[in-house]
């Protein structure tokens, strides 16, 4: 068995994921010798499947175009067009897209700690453990129905990953904006609720009376003197108050929401 595939990546997935030797080639030509899934074909080029929103197949026999999912088996010469998220609406508008447009719960890998902190600052439910290995991240993702955020392509390529995203920028604030845009959080009422989650453990914050934190803040007499409003993390017990650091955090929130 021998057949040829002509593969074209559209949108920023080509510029970001394809190695330099392949970016200048359009289409990418692959000679195949056995039947394989289109997912494997895509990822052999270096593109994780969660980044592909629409797969369009044009058969050499004249069949198509038609949309395929990642399980579709390639066994004959074909032309394959791959579109990142969101796939253009005018391309096979009746075909279901492969990626979810919205998600409000995330698991973030250990190299994106500042991104996770920003998401928690905005009130997004964000699991993060600095030393969590891939197995742990994938377990949390599956058990809690979270989208995984990572710049590790191999992690995104695991077959169990249904929802995931690779931030393009290396800057935490830009990464945060990318995630908010990718998963529709700017347009989802209630998805963003700044200052409602613990920055350290992701727990929800609850308002408490000053007398309820006197013991915990015994070593902070000036804090108790100047501040009356406090919030307590329901999980780790960390206490928050409107100190001088709040202005910097509020400025960061304003920048993120201004996008």
Q: What is residue 219's predicted lDDT score, i.e. its pLDDT?
A: 67
- Asked, for residue 143, whether it belongs to a domain, the answer is yes
Instruction: Report the distance separating Cα 148 and Cα 108, nearest Å.
Output: 6
* Statement to judge: residues 48 and 169 lie in one domain: no
* Statement to judge: residues 44 and 109 lie in one domain: no
Number of domains in the chain: 2
Q: What is residue 21's predicted lDDT score, i.e. its pLDDT?
A: 84
- Asked, for residue 237, whether it belongs to a domain, the answer is no
Q: What is residue 244's predicted lDDT score, i.e. its pLDDT?
A: 64
Q: Please, what is the angle between helix 113-121 and helix 172-182, to 10°?
A: 60
Q: Name every residue whose Cβ is closer than 8 Å to that of residue 188 and which is 6 or more positions away in sequence.
A: 102, 104
Q: What is residue 259's predicted lDDT score, i.e. its pLDDT?
A: 75
| Residue ranges of the chain with per-residue pLDDT less than 50 | none
Q: Rounded to 10 degrees, what is the CA torsion of 46, 176, 186, 84?
A: -10
* Statement to judge: residues 71 and 127 lie in one domain: no
Instruction: Report the distance separating Cα 113 and Cα 197, nearest Å.
Output: 15
Greatest pairwise CA separation for the chain in angstroms? 80
* Statement to judge: residues 54 and 135 lie in one domain: no
The boundaries of the domain holding residue 67 are: 3-84
In the block, residue with structure tokens 């068995």: 1
* Statement to judge: residues 71 and 153 lie in one domain: no
pTM equals: 0.92
Q: Name every residue whose Cβ is closer than 8 Å to that of residue 115 and which is 6 or more positions away in sequence.
A: 108, 149, 167, 172, 175, 176, 179
Q: What is residue 231's predicted lDDT score, i.e. its pLDDT?
A: 87
Q: What is residue 23's predicted lDDT score, i.e. its pLDDT?
A: 82
Q: What is residue 218's predicted lDDT score, i.e. its pLDDT?
A: 67
Q: What is residue 26's predicted lDDT score, i.e. its pLDDT?
A: 79
- Asked, for residue 26, whether it belongs to a domain, the answer is yes
- Work out the number of other CB atoms within 10 angstroms of the CB of residue 110: 17
* Statement to judge: residues 144 and 194 lie in one domain: yes
Of 236, 201, 190, 207, nearest to 126 (Cα)? 201
* Statement to judge: residues 50 and 168 lie in one domain: no
Residue 7 maps to which CATH number?
3.10.20.30
Tell the burial category of 142 from Cβ atoms under 10 Å away from its Cβ (0-12, 13-18, 19+). Answer: middle
Domain end marker among 31, 55, 84: 84
* Statement to judge: residues 9 and 48 lie in one domain: yes
- Asked, for residue 145, whether it belongs to a domain, the answer is yes
- Asked, for residue 130, whether it belongs to a domain, the answer is yes
């Amino acid at each position: 068995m021998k057949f040829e595939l002509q593969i074209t990546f559209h949108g920023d997935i080509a510029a970001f994921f394809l190695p330099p030797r392949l970016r200048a080639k359009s289409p990418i030509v692959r000679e195949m010798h056995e039947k394989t899934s289109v997912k494997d074909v895509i990822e052999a080029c270096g593109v994780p499947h969660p980044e592909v929103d629409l797969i369009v197949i044009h058969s050499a026999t004249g069949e198509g175009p038609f949309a395929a999912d990642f399980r579709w088996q390639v066994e004959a010469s074909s032309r394959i067009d791959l579109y990142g998220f969101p796939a253009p609406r005018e391309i096979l508008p009746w075909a279901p897209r492969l990626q979810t447009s919205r998600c409000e719960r995330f698991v973030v890998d250990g190299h994106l700690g500042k991104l996770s902190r920003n998401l928690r600052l905005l009130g997004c439910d964000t699991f993060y453990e600095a030393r969590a290995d891939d197995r742990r991240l994938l377990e949390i993702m599956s058990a809690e129905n979270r989208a995984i955020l990572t710049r590790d392509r191999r992690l995104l390529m695991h077959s169990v990953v249904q929802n995931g995203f690779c931030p393009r920028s290396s800057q935490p604030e830009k990464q945060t904006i990318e995630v908010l845009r990718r998963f529709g959080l700017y347009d989802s009422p209630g998805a963003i609720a700044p200052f409602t989650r613990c920055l350290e453990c992701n727990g929800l914050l609850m308002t408490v009376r000053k007398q309820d934190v006197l013991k915990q803040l015994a070593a902070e007499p000036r804090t108790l003197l100047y501040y009356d409003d406090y919030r307590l993390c329901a999980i780790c017990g960390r206490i928050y108050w409107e100190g001088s650091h709040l202005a910097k955090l509020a400025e960061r929130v304003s920048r993120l929401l201004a996008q």
